[in-house]
Chain A
Amino acid sequence: MKISCIFIPHFSIKCEWLRKYALRDRPILIVDTRGNKNIVKDWFPDNLGIQTDMKLQEALTKINNPYILPWDVDYYELCFENIINFLHQVSTTVEYVRPGLVYFDLATLYYTYRTDEEIIGFLEFEVSRFWKVNIGIGNSKLSSYIRAFIGPSAQMGKDCTVTDLQWGKLSIDLLPISLGNKVRLHQFALHTFGDILSLDIRSLQAQFGYEGKLIWDLVSDVCAEFLNPISTEESVHEKLSFQDPVVNLQVIITVVELLLDRALSRIKSFGLMPRIASISTEGFNGGSWRKKYSFKEPTADKDKIFSRIRSSLEGVSFSEPLESIKLGLEQFTGERGFQGSMLSQVRKHDQLDESIRQLKANFLEDVPIFKIKEVEPWSRIPEERYALVQYVP
């Protein structure tokens, strides 16, 4: 199976440039917060020795006075959506890894194009409308990634130099393994693929365990990694763009209600009920905000969905005026199930008993609360079937 990789180096930096042009040519660090740790996800300029998942403190020693931006993965995914949508049209299996990196199966494209060069030419023509991309083709995900990583075909405007690859001279930093193991490989003076290939698989396994075998398989290009296709799910989206940016929360809530009405009218005739609703906004200064609402039971009841969204929106303070609002409904189902409680009556009785005890404590006398007791339910005379007796907790 031939696999192609589309790789956009420093994709999140490019997305930030799109959002704020003033950041161009200035040193940037994009940082993600995991617990109390700040991890570097992307950086500019390149060639400073910074690596993905490096600690912020360490990265700051290598870059002068950078702009530190938060890792806005929702925004980057939105930017990458065009490429994913296009790839879904030309390939049956598309594996999305992260914004800026995607693998896909080439089997269907070989029906139309004969050689890898023709396919790369086609992809460059189509995909480069959105971004300047690196395209690599290989027998595995790693080899296609490496070809994309070191052969910036789209940028250079030349064919990907697949046959010229000097596999053995590649750095082990290209391997998709943990940063810790990369450091250990360097400590063992294993800097290139060739260094690893000169070793026996058993010695790697002895030092690195399971990942040792993975390293060997990857470097030997025998790693049988399968593509994990994106599960395509039907979703309904409604969007409204404002002529003038909006700040008023009441207007925003009214627009959300309108969009919800429209979206529900599109699915109701099919008897479908969404399990997830999402709201995403685009701000005047390019900021984005997104929130997902999951429902325990799928519902097409407008009031139920809207009340949930409304109560959430009322607590949000948008940092900038909004230019557009998008509402999405996802994970449709035609059936609905309720989880009943086997012991619901027990709890009800407990709550009732407790309430009566409290009333009794307040009034200091027996509370006139009665329960219906069956006396002669079979009786022909209705007033003799049941009686009221005092409820004693």
Chain B
Amino acid sequence: MVANTRGKIRSGPVRPLNLPTQLEVIQGSDKNPKSIGIPLHVDVTVILDSWHIRTRWWRKEEIINRRYFECLMQDGRRVTIFLDLEKSKWFHQRT
């Protein structure tokens, strides 16, 4: 018999990248973020952009329903956060 020349298939671990991390956000009267704890609280100077994503509505337990905000902070940083509308929790989104 001819020996199997194919090498051993190695499937290493796959790790997700840029997973959202939960953070604390103080909202203003208009429900928009006013101050973000990253981890110390820094005030939002201006909201540069905001958008809404709703997908996987066909999977009952994995519905993605997020409201994104791209904020310019008082210390000059640009931070993207979202409010998970299903869980009512704020997350920091790295891209």
A interface list, Cβ under 8 A from B: 366, 370, 372-373, 380-390, 392
Residues of B contacting A380 in the complex (Cβ-Cβ under 8 angstroms): 53, 55
- Given A380-B53, A392-B10: A370 in contact with B15 (beta carbons within 8 A): yes
Question: Which applies to chain B's interface (DSSP): helix, strand, loop or mixed?
Answer: loop
Residues of A contacting B12 in the complex (Cβ-Cβ under 8 angstroms): 366, 389-390, 392
Residues of B contacting A389 in the complex (Cβ-Cβ under 8 angstroms): 12-15
Interface residues of B in 1-56 (CB under 8 A from A): 10, 12-20, 53, 55
Q: What is the size, in residues, of chain B's interface with A at 8 Å between Cβ atoms? A: 16
Check A390 against B53 for contact (C-beta < 8 Å): no
Give chain A nearest CB distance to B67 CB in angstroms: 13
Q: How far is the CA of A366 from the CA of B8 in the complex (A)?
A: 15
Check B17 against A388 for contact (C-beta < 8 Å): yes
Check A386 against B15 for contact (C-beta < 8 Å): no
Seed contacts A381-B53, A389-B12; 9 additional CB < 8 Å A-B pairs = A372-B17, A380-B53, A381-B55, A381-B64, A382-B18, A382-B94, A385-B18, A390-B10, A392-B12
Residues of B contacting A372 in the complex (Cβ-Cβ under 8 angstroms): 17
A380's nearest neighbour on chain B, judged by CB, is B53
Q: How far is the CA of A382 from the CA of B19 in the complex (A)?
A: 8
Choose among B12, B53, B93 the residue with the greatest number of A CB atoms under 10 Å from its CB: B12
Give chain B nearest CB distance to A299 CB in angstroms: 34
Give chain A nearest CB distance to B69 CB in angstroms: 14
Which of A366, A387, A390, A392 contacts B16 (CB under 8 A)?
A387
Q: How far is the CA of A373 from the CA of B20 in the complex (A)?
A: 18
Give chain B nearest CB distance to A189 CB in angstroms: 84
- Given A381-B53, A381-B55, A381-B64: A386 in contact with B18 (beta carbons within 8 A): yes
Q: How far is the CA of A65 from the CA of B93 in the complex (A)?
A: 89
Choose among B10, B13, B64 the residue with the greatest number of A CB atoms under 10 Å from its CB: B13
Give chain A nearest CB distance to B58 CB in angstroms: 15
Give chain B nearest CB distance to A305 CB in angstroms: 36
Check A386 against B17 for contact (C-beta < 8 Å): yes
Check A387 against B15 for contact (C-beta < 8 Å): yes
Q: How far is the CA of A383 from the CA of B14 in the complex (A)?
A: 13
Residues of B contacting A390 in the complex (Cβ-Cβ under 8 angstroms): 10, 12-13
Residues of B contacting A381 in the complex (Cβ-Cβ under 8 angstroms): 53, 55, 64
Q: Please tell me if B88 contacts chain A, counting CB pairs below 8 Å.
A: no
Q: How far is the CA of A387 from the CA of B18 in the complex (A)?
A: 8
Residues of B contacting A386 in the complex (Cβ-Cβ under 8 angstroms): 17-18
Check B19 against A383 for contact (C-beta < 8 Å): yes
Check B13 against A382 for contact (C-beta < 8 Å): no
Interface residues of B in 39-95 (CB under 8 A from A): 53, 55, 64, 93-95
Residues of A contacting B18 in the complex (Cβ-Cβ under 8 angstroms): 382-383, 385-386
Choose among A366, A373, A388 the residue with the greatest number of B CB atoms under 10 Å from its CB: A388
Residues of A contacting B17 in the complex (Cβ-Cβ under 8 angstroms): 372, 383, 385-388
29 contacts between A and B (CB under 8 A): A372-B17, A381-B53, A381-B55, A381-B64, A382-B18, A382-B93, A382-B95, A383-B18, A383-B19, A383-B20, A383-B93, A384-B16, A385-B17, A385-B18, A386-B17, A386-B18, A387-B14, A387-B16, A388-B14, A388-B15, A388-B16, A388-B17, A389-B12, A389-B14, A389-B15, A390-B12, A390-B13, A392-B10, A392-B12
A389's nearest neighbour on chain B, judged by CB, is B14
Give chain B nearest CB distance to A357 CB in angstroms: 15
Choose among A372, A383, A387 the residue with the greatest number of B CB atoms under 10 Å from its CB: A383
Give chain A nearest CB distance to B91 CB in angstroms: 10
Give chain B nearest CB distance to A353 CB in angstroms: 15
Q: How far is the CA of A352 from the CA of B91 in the complex (A)?
A: 35
Give chain A nearest CB distance to B13 CB in angstroms: 6
Give chain B nearest CB distance to A192 CB in angstroms: 86
Give chain B nearest CB distance to A380 CB in angstroms: 5
Which 6 pairs between the two chains have the least Cβ-Cβ distance? A390-B12, A388-B15, A386-B17, A382-B95, A383-B18, A383-B19
